[in-house]
A and B are shown apart, each in its own frame.
Chain A
Amino acid sequence: AQSVTQLGSHVSVSEGALVLLRCNYSSSVPPYLFWYVQYPNQGLQLLLKYTTGATLVKGINGFEAEFKKSETSFHLTKPSAHMSDAAEYFCAVTSNYGGSQGNLIFGKGTKLSVKP
């Protein structure tokens, strides 16, 4: 079974400050990990993903995440927050094994607020 825990349902940062959104996963098989962003009343947009290979993954809008197997983490970071980053962010896990192929398991989401 797989699961995702996002620490902090709300995170607030000042414009220009570091953004750190935490995600820990549980998986008995090698995971594929994703971060999605959702703006109000819209669908989910893929920010970045980790499947295999390099553990530091760069995504759109200046975001990146690092897969740390020893810590079962996939935290999302951005060096400098912008007002337009205010949204809800979802971490998700799946794998390419067994019955869970392609079925994403989502965390509960973290709402990011950016203060001017």
Chain B
Amino acid sequence: NAGVMQNPRHLVRRRGQEARLRCSPMKGHSHVYWYRQLPEEGLKFMVYLQKENIIDESGMPKERFSAEFPKEGPSILRIQQVVRGDSAAYFCASSPRSRNSGNTIYFGEGSWLTVV
């Protein structure tokens, strides 16, 4: 049973370009979360999605950031017109969301975005 798969693992973008990060949840998981980890900081929640629905985007910056989880295919975190401050590790996580899971979520290996 493959874990949460993220790609690319490393991405370099110039200022003003777009970054697209992909996440395939664990098999059987229908809930996806995106977190951002800035240097020397803990992870910050960005967005929580179910298939075709954004459940909670309270952690998403108001501009340039968007996320989707289509009916088919991976979840995508898109950052438009990237700036240096967007350089961070972006982690995707998934959960089955059953009550018995104790809300345990499983993390991917992360995507490291560097903006030059």
Are B95 and A43 closer than 8 Å at their CB atoms? no
Question: How many residues of chain A are within 8 Å of chain B by beta carbon?
Answer: 25
Query: Of B41, B105, B110, which contacts A104 at CB under 8 A?
Result: B105
Are A104 and B45 closer than 8 Å at their CB atoms? yes
Does A42 make an interface contact (CB < 8 A)?
A: yes
Q: Contacts A51-B102, A96-B99, A103-B56 hold; do A43 and B45 have CB atoms under 8 A apart?
A: no
Are A43 and B105 closer than 8 Å at their CB atoms? no
User: Knowing that A42-B110, A43-B110 are A-B contacts, what are 18 other residue pairs whose CB atoms are under 8 Å apart, sorted by A's residue number?
Assistant: A36-B107, A43-B108, A43-B109, A44-B43, A44-B91, A44-B107, A46-B106, A49-B102, A51-B102, A51-B103, A90-B42, A95-B103, A102-B33, A102-B48, A103-B33, A103-B45, A103-B48, A106-B44
Measured CB to CB, the residues of B under 8 A from A are 4, 31, 33, 35, 41-45, 48, 56, 91, 95, 97, 99, 102-110, 112
